[in-house]
Structure 1
Amino acid sequence: MSVAEPRRIVLFRHAKADWPQVSDDERPLADRGRADAPVAGSRLADTGISFDLAVCSTAVRTRETWKLAVPELDHRPKTVYEDRVYDASPGELIAVLNETPDDVRDAILIGHNPGVHNLVEILAGTAEGDARERMNRRGFPTSAFAVLTFDGDWKDLEPGKATLVDYWAPSE
């Protein structure tokens, strides 16, 4: 990878989950989530990013979201299911991302709120266009994602180092 090429990380919140009588990590997607996940996948494809790696929480709703979104992409990235993404703080998510192999240029993390939204806020020292304004107006609803870029190695990713370049959320 050329040092001049920025790395990209997409932080993707799982689709809308149902609330059956199961443990939180076993909650499946609701009907709306099953409809929104492929739409989010199509919008991810529209970004033109060819992901090298997907890091997905092991919770049922995140795995189902990724399973429905990934067929919309032109390229299916290697996917790692990571327990530490479930119920993670932004610091814990940064630690997971810091372990990304050096040969990965573009990665996507499929996780949960409030960790994912807070991580975007913490990483994005700057923003392009109206991406931050749109995110602040909408919040980080289910199926939303943010695209960030940064220079350097994954192990060097830290607060304020990235630029928020895109944000998308489904219409409600």
Structure 2
Amino acid sequence: MSVDTPRRIVLLRHAKADWPDVPDHERPLADRGRSDAPVAGRRLADTGIAFDLALCSTAVRTRETWKLAVQELPQRPRTVYEDRLYDATPGDLFALLNEVSDDVNDLLLIGHNPGTHALADALSGESQGDAIARMTRSGFPTAAFAVISFDGSWKSVEHGVGRLVEFWTPHAV
């Protein structure tokens, strides 16, 4: 597979979480999150992207988001639950992306803010239409996702290499 292969990364923020008296990592989805996650899954299916791999944070709210969203996809990708996605900085996320095998063309990452938004912003050297403006304006709400395309190897992923081709949110912002 050529290092000039077109690739896509989709960054999905977990759906709306509840605030019970539990450690942050253990917070479950709120009612709105349980209704938004399948909507996000249907919209992901509408993109037509056949994900080769999904990397999901180990936090309860991200695992629940993925469990509800993946049911809406036509095909379930291989899923890896990754501890390093929880509370990750953009640098942590770049390092993780650089480890992805070049056998993967389309990657879905299910994570948290502020890292998800910061990574989408850092990757997006250019934008299709007003996608960057909408992403900046909205602040990357829960259950939102960004689709970023780039050419090359995962080892070459760095600031500004991508093109933000779509930004979607479940609610008008």
Same fold (TM over 0.5): yes
How far apart are the structure 2 equivalents of 1:27 and 1:163?
A: 33
How far apart are the structure 2 equivalents of 1:2 and 1:39?
A: 35
Partner of 2:108: 108
Please identify, of 103-112 and 134-143, the stretch whose mean Cα deviation from structure 2 is larger: 134-143
Partner of 2:145: 145
Map 1:133-172 → 2, pairs under 5 A: 133-171=133-171
Q: Is 1:38 the equivalent of 2:41?
A: no
Task: Give SS of 2:107's match.
Answer: strand
Deviations 1:46-70 (A, max 9, x none): 1110000000000000000000000
How far apart are the structure 1 equivalents of 2:16 and 2:169?
A: 12
**Which stretches in structure 2 are left out of the alignment for 5+ residues?**
none
User: 1:108 is aligned with what amino acid?
Assistant: L
**Which stretches in structure 1 are left out of the alignment for 5+ residues?**
none
Aligned residues: 172
Shift of 1:5: 3.8
Task: Give SS of 1:72's match.
Answer: coil
Partner of 2:15: 15
User: 2:27 is aligned with what amino acid?
Assistant: R
How far apart are the structure 2 equivalents of 1:169 and 1:19?
A: 22
How far apart are the structure 2 equivalents of 1:62 and 1:160?
A: 26
Shift of 1:134: 1.5
Output the TM-score relative to the length of structure 1: 0.97
Please identify, of 116-125 and 133-142, the stretch whose mean Cα deviation from structure 2 is larger: 133-142
Deviations 1:81-118 (A, max 9, x none): 00000000001011111111110000000000000000
Task: Give SS of 1:33's match.
Answer: helix
Map 1:50-89 → 2, pairs under 5 A: 50-89=50-89
Shift of 1:4: 5.0
Runs of 4+ in 1 over 2 A off after TM superposition: 1-5
Shift of 1:137: 2.0
Partner of 2:29: 29
Deviations 1:20-71 (A, max 9, x none): 0100000000000000000000000011100000000000000000000001
The answer (yes or no) to whether the contact 2:53–2:106 under 8 Å persists in 1 is yes
What is the RMSD computed on CA atoms of the aligned residues?
A: 1.0
Task: Give SS of 1:74's match.
Answer: coil
Partner of 1:92: 92
Partner of 1:128: 128
User: 2:64 is aligned with what amino acid?
Assistant: E
The answer (yes or no) to whether the contact 2:57–2:84 under 8 Å persists in 1 is yes
